[in-house]
Structure formats: C-alpha cells, structure tokens
Structure 1
Amino acid sequence: MNFPKSVQINEVVLRDGLQLEKKIVSVEEKKLLFDQLVKAGVSTIEFGSFVHPRLVPQMANSGELYSLVADEYKELSLIALIPNLRGAEIAHSHDVKEVNFVFSASDTHNLQNVHKTTAESLKELKEIQDFCLKKNILLSVSIATTFGCPFEGEVPVERIKSVLAEVIAIQVNKISLADTTGMANPKQVYDLLIGLRSDFPGQKFNLHFHNTRGMGLSNILAAMEAGVDSFDASLGGLGGCPFAPGATGNVCTEDVVHMLHSMGIESGLSLDNLLEASKTLTKIVEHETPSYIRSAGPYNRKYPVPTITK
C-alpha cells in the first residue's frame, strides 16, 4: 500500500458542520470552538458561508465571526463558501481573503442548490474569478456530487472530466471533489482518482467525503492510495447538505486523525486537543455527535484491569 507520509486536514465544522443544526450557534460559541481548533493545530478552516440567511440561518453571523478572528489569526487559511458572484461580493465587503465556490457536477442537484444548471455555474465561475483577481481574493472550487447525485444517481466519469477541464482552465487555487451524500465506495474513489490524475497530471485535488453510509474512512484510504493527501473533515462528524436528501455528516476530524496517527501518517494536529474541542462542540450543539474516538477513546488507551472477586 502506498500512503503519503503526511496529510493536510481542512476543518469544515464551522460551515458544513453547523449548517443543519437546529440550535442557532452564536458568534461567541463559534469563536470558542475556533480557538480550540487552532489550539489543536488546525491551519485551514472554512469558517462560514455567504448565502442568504433565510436559506441557511446558521451562517448569518459568518461576517461577524470573521471580523473576530481575522486579525488574531493572520497566519491561518480562513475560507468562506460562496454560492455565486453575490457571495463573493459580500465576502469582499468583509475583507475576506479566500473563498470557495461550490457547484454540482449534476444539473438536478445544482438546480436544487443554486437554481442554475452546471453550465450556468461554470459561466458564473469565470465572472467570480475575474472579480477575485481584481480584489486580490484567492478562489478555490468544490465540485459537489462528484461521486453520485441523490436525484440522478451515478454521474458519468466523462462528465466529471469535462467539468474539471473547464475549472482547471480558469486556474483556481484549489479543486475539491465532494461526495455530497456519501454515495462513494473505495473502488470507485481509487479508480476515479487514478484516472483524473492521469488525465490532469500535476493537478492536486482535495477530497470532501460524507460518512452517510459508513464508508468515509475507507474512502479516504482509497484516495490516499491513489495519491491524494488533502481532505476536508468536520469536528464531531457533524454536517450535511440542506438541499440533498439523506446527506448526513462529514467524516469526523478526530476519527480521521486517529486513523492517520495509528498508521504512522502525520497530520500536524493534536488528537488530545481535538477531543477537547469535540467535547466543547457537544455542549454547544446540545447533543452527542457521531465521533467514534470521543466515545471509545484512542486505540492505545489502557484501561485498569477489573478486580476479580471470589
């Protein structure tokens, strides 16, 4: 097996993780969580999104959160998700330096999500890139439903390649491939990534897996075997897409880091501090999370031997 020596973890709990929560998380609570993530060594954080607050009310205070953390953590990569050009303009009004434009490889999901076809979003991407270049904003792209669409089913590989070719031509900062509703399987992930890395040599990919059907960690293993070393993850395994039926949480950050460390792969993150942050998260959202490691503890935890009474 050919795994990388180190892996980059991009934390998305403050955006993807919280966007479906019933409790509206205050900016003070988000800042507390943010500080603990930084203490754990997280260097790349998707802190929120600039979407209409009526659609995703959890993200209404994203600009306020950015104003609290931007000056204090200038060395970090702080990313805002945007669904359109208007989102980029709002990000610029808050002096945000990095944005991530998301659209779907499948038309049906893209129409549900942003009310545009994939082709229309690709056209808008060019306008967004023009705007970002003028305003000195770093633009990345996430392609949702890369591994399957909840409405259309399998998305043809040739369509993925066609969409990617257009995105690569625009020369964005980073390209993420997203398994929006957890439809991917390890063989599919490996085969697709091997093909894409062959067709687009030199292009690096970040992957965004959901654990909807319990295959998130195995999909990360398959992607690493295919040469990928950058992944999104969400503290506690929270998350999901408001516009995709059944899209439960992302792969859990502490579970991913535990897996990597037990395999001798570096992440640059402190598992102990992540577990402390995960404990804070459960208090904030007022419910337990799908985190295996928070529940069971690390593999090397030693328990006292029970006393046998006669």
Structure 2
Amino acid sequence: MKLIDCPRDAMQGWPTLIPTSQKIAYLNALLQVGFDTLDFGSFVSPKAIPQLADTAEVLNGLAVDASATKLLAIVANVRGAETAAQYPQIRYIGFPLSVSETFQQRNTNKSIAQALDDVARMQELCARTGQEQVVYLSMGFGNPYNDPWSPEILGEFTQKLDALDVRIVALSDTVGASIPETIAPPFRELTAAFPHIEFGAHLHTTPATWREKVQAAYAAGCRRFDGALGGYGGCPMAADHLTGNMPTERLIEFALGVGETLPLDLAALGKAQELNEALFASH
C-alpha cells in the first residue's frame, strides 16, 4: 500500500499566507517519515493560488537527497508542466483532468477536450525528461453540477489515458461527494480492466466517514492513497466550504489494521505532526 502525503492540498486554500521558511521546515520533516510520495507544491498561476506562489523557492530548500520519498508537483497546464520539468528533483507531474465539464472550466479555464490535449503534450514532455505524469480524475465520485457521472464514464476517460500511456490515475473526490456505493464500483471495474495502470484514491471526508471510504476503495483493489496530516485542506476551486482531506494518520491506522507493512519512521512522523499542528494553528 502506497501512501502519498499532500501538504500542497492542505495549504493551498489556507486563508492566511504561510511563510516560506515554515513550509520548508514542515516539508523537510515530512520527507523523513517514509511516505512513498510527497505532493509538495504546484506550478500554477499565483493569482489563482497565491499560497503556493513560492513553490520554486520552497523546492530549493528541500533536502530531497536525504530522503527516499519522491516529489510530486501539481500543474494546471502545459506551461506549468514545462516549469516543473526544469527541476529533476520532481519525479511526478500531476494534472487534474475533470470528468465534469463544468469543473474543468472552473478549475483550468479549459474544456475537457482541451485538457486531454494538454495531457498528451505533458506526456510527451515527461517522456523527454524522464518524469512521470499522474492524472487525477477530479469529480471522480460525482459532482454538484448535475454533469454526467458513472463508473462507465470513468472507464472511458481511463481508456483515453491508457492510449496516451499514462500509468498512474487517481480518482479524486474533489468536494467530498463520495460514499462507499460510489467508491467501490469504479475501483473494482477499473483495476480489473486496466491491470497495468496504478489507480489511486484521493478522498475527502468528514471525521465520521473516513473509515468506510478507505475500506470501500481498499476492498475494491485500490492500493494507492492520498492523505494530508490533520485532514486539513481541500480544493478552493470546488466550493466555498472546503471538505477536509483524508487524514494521513487515519490511512496509517487503516493500513496497519489490515496488515499492510509501511516503511515509516514513527518518531519522524510524530515530529511532523507537531509541526503540522503548530503550522496550521498559528495561521
């Protein structure tokens, strides 16, 4: 089971700016924990996400060589991907491809068709740089806009991504709409139909519903999970009231409970949690 911690998602919608030095200290603490991947920042318009305008500066302060954890940066277009591609420390370039036409326009000011063209161009870029693209199917468990959604639609999107040789696809619960009945069928069908693709779950949740969501994805074959320590954050482009991220500590609890072996340094995790609490409590 792979754990991806997403401090980028925790910070991006935070109402007050977090100093760059504090971000660097927190991310360096997370790099010592042993997560598979750290979703650390994004190369997007600073007007859209001012909290992450310092991503390049933050990256330069990270002790990447002292950690086995891989770095992932989110981008919203080819220009952002070209910026991320300049940094060999970044292993993964993540792109949100929405299955909701409304949200694709809202999130990236493009149609789904235009976004798919971007995916193709970014895939070619990654082939040249040796990086790897992670495509997030946002609104992956339904949407509040009455746009069409079904496991079959997710399958159609995945078929297109498969044709582009995308090998990591994460179903993303952008607004906390997921319930076990909408989580299990897509993972069950997709993992069977595309065994060569690694499927991930980027779930948002309330404190009372986290376990049933993780259980549904895990039982249906998902072994890649995104979380954020403390459950902070959410997508500022999705709603006025953010639904929190899946708490990483809950994912750890679940994984250990089902017998998964996690290469985590629990002492380092404790230090990262202390910094997490101080970081968000003070801002």
State TM-score, norm by structure 2.
0.91
Report the counterpart of residue 246 of structure 2 in structure 1. 251
Report the counterpart of residue 17 of structure 1 in structure 2. 10
Report the counterpart of residue 179 of structure 2 in structure 1. 185
- 1:209–1:126 CA distance, 2 compared to 1 (3 A): same
After superposition, the C-alpha distances for 1:263-294 in whole angstroms (9 at most, x for unaligned) are 43322224454343222112112269xxxxxx
Given that residues 34 and 263 in structure 2 are in contact (C-alpha distance below 8 angstroms), is that contact kept between their aligned partners in structure 1? Answer: yes
Cα distance in 2, alignment partners of residues 279 and 180 from structure 1: 27
After superposition, the C-alpha distances for 1:110-148 in whole angstroms (9 at most, x for unaligned) are 110001111211111111112222233222211100101
Q: 2:53 aligns with which of 60, 69, 78?
A: 60
TM-superposed deviation, 1:173: 3.7
After superposition, the C-alpha distances for 1:42-87 in whole angstroms (9 at most, x for unaligned) are 2310110000011101111111111222653464311110111011
Q: Give RMSD over aligned pairs.
A: 2.1
TM-superposed deviation, 1:185: 1.0
Report the counterpart of residue 215 of structure 2 in structure 1. 221
Report the counterpart of residue 304 of structure 1 in structure 2. none
Given that residues 40 and 73 in structure 2 are in contact (C-alpha distance below 8 angstroms), is that contact kept between their aligned partners in structure 1? Answer: yes
| Match runs of 1:147-158 below 5 Å | 147-152=141-146, 155-158=149-152
Given that residues 99 and 154 in structure 2 are in contact (C-alpha distance below 8 angstroms), is that contact kept between their aligned partners in structure 1? Answer: yes
Given that residues 182 and 211 in structure 1 are in contact (C-alpha distance below 8 angstroms), is that contact kept between their aligned partners in structure 2? Answer: yes
Please identify the structure whose Cα radius of gyration is greater. Answer: 1
Runs of 4+ in 1 over 4 A off after TM superposition: none
After superposition, the C-alpha distances for 1:233-290 in whole angstroms (9 at most, x for unaligned) are 10110111111113321100112212322343322224454343222112112269xx
Aligned residue identity for 2:195? P
TM-superposed deviation, 1:200: 2.3
| Match runs of 1:113-262 below 5 Å | 113-152=107-146, 155-212=149-206, 214-245=208-239, 246-262=241-257
Report the counterpart of residue 278 of structure 1 in structure 2. 273
Alignment: residue pair count: 281
TM-superposed deviation, 1:203: 2.5
Aligned residue identity for 1:63? A
Q: 1:86 aligns with which of 79, 97, 110?
A: 79
| Residue 108 (str. 1) matches residue 102 (str. 2) | yes
Report the counterpart of residue 305 of structure 1 in structure 2. none
- 1:51–1:254 CA distance, 2 compared to 1 (3 A): same
Given that residues 232 and 247 in structure 2 are in contact (C-alpha distance below 8 angstroms), is that contact kept between their aligned partners in structure 1? Answer: yes
Given that residues 72 and 94 in structure 2 are in contact (C-alpha distance below 8 angstroms), is that contact kept between their aligned partners in structure 1? Answer: yes
Structure 2: stretches of 5+ with no match in the other structure: none
Report the counterpart of residue 77 of structure 1 in structure 2. 70
Given that residues 43 and 77 in structure 1 are in contact (C-alpha distance below 8 angstroms), is that contact kept between their aligned partners in structure 2? Answer: yes
Given that residues 82 and 100 in structure 1 are in contact (C-alpha distance below 8 angstroms), is that contact kept between their aligned partners in structure 2? Answer: yes
Find the residue that maps to 1:93 and give its secondary structure.
coil
Report the counterpart of residue 31 of structure 2 in structure 1. 38
